[in-house]
Amino acid sequence: MKYLKLLTLFSIGLLTACSGGSLHLEKQGDLDEIIKNTADAFSEENIKQVSIYSNDALSDNFRSVRIIYKREKKYYAIEYNGRGLNDPRETTRTLALNVENTYRNAPSKKVSDFTMDNISELYKKGVEQLDKEQNGKLTNFVLANVTKSILKDGSFKTSFTINCTKKGESSTSRRTGRTTRVTINYYSVYVDVQKDGSLKLRY
């Protein structure tokens, strides 16, 4: 497994973030609500990709939705965080080229078309497959993000990320004044949903 990131968290901030979240990526009903609320806030119809993110590497609490859309031959990214939309930003040239090469001539879609059907079940299936492939060495699985993209034939490509920790790898803590800093190693596994419903895990 590829080691990806050393995560440093402040315990006080972490507890506040976890207790304050009301919507969760691992709950199908919450995902449906996130898409509905985003669709109500953003009516653009030439959308290429919708991604939902958690607010922390080891939590499935909802943070934001990122939308990639095309307007007048340019690609833009805009985010919705449950309270409102930020100002749209023209995407970087690299992202624009990637989107153009992948989704060129794809039909126009609205946010409401990017339903997150069966994501909860796919996530559970992904955790089971990951646990089996790694011989039970992982724990603390979290659905970190979900991305849905429109393809040329009008179908959707779905992918998501599972974050987790290794069994036996303990966190370390250091207290400085009133703050305790907790350092945790975590790992990300990328999952692509194939056309037949099977899952391809990328480490």
pLDDT at 173: 78
Q: What is the pLDDT at residue 171?
A: 79
* Segments forming the whole domain that contains residue 146: 5-202
Task: Work out the pLDDT band at 17, boundaries 50, 70, 90.
Answer: very low
Lowest-pLDDT range of 11-25, 53-67, 148-162: 11-25
Q: pLDDT tens digits for 31-87?
A: 999 999 999 999 999 999 999 999 988 999 999 999 999 998 889 999 999 999 999
Tokens at 92, concatenated: 């970087």
Residue 3 has pLDDT above 80, yes or no: no
Q: What is the pLDDT of residue 49?
A: 94
Gap between the Cα atoms of 157 and 147, Å rounded: 8
| 37 phi and psi angles, rounded to 5 deg | -65, -40
3-state helix, strand, coil in the chain (%, to 5): 25, 45, 30
Confidence of residue 16 (pLDDT cuts 50, 70, 90): very low
Average pLDDT over all residues of the chain: 87
Pick 71 or 145 by higher pLDDT.
145
Helix ranges (H only) for the chain are 11-20, 28-41, 93-103, 119-133
Q: What percent of the chain has pLDDT over 90?
A: 67
The burial of 30, by beta-carbon neighbours within 10 Å (0-12 exposed, 13-18 middle, 19 or more buried), is given as buried
* Count: domains in the chain: 1
Q: What is the C-alpha separation between 110 and 151, in angstroms, rounded?
A: 14
Q: Whole-prediction pTM value?
A: 0.87
Q: Which of 81, 17, 61, 67 is nearest to 163 (CA)?
A: 61
pLDDT value, residue 95: 80
* pLDDT reported for residue 198: 97
Q: Is the pLDDT of residue 20 over 70?
A: no
Contact 86, 42 (CB under 8 A): no
Around Cβ 35, how many Cβ atoms within 10 Å?
20
Residue-wise pLDDT tens digits, 100-127: 788 778 898 999 999 999 999 999 999 9
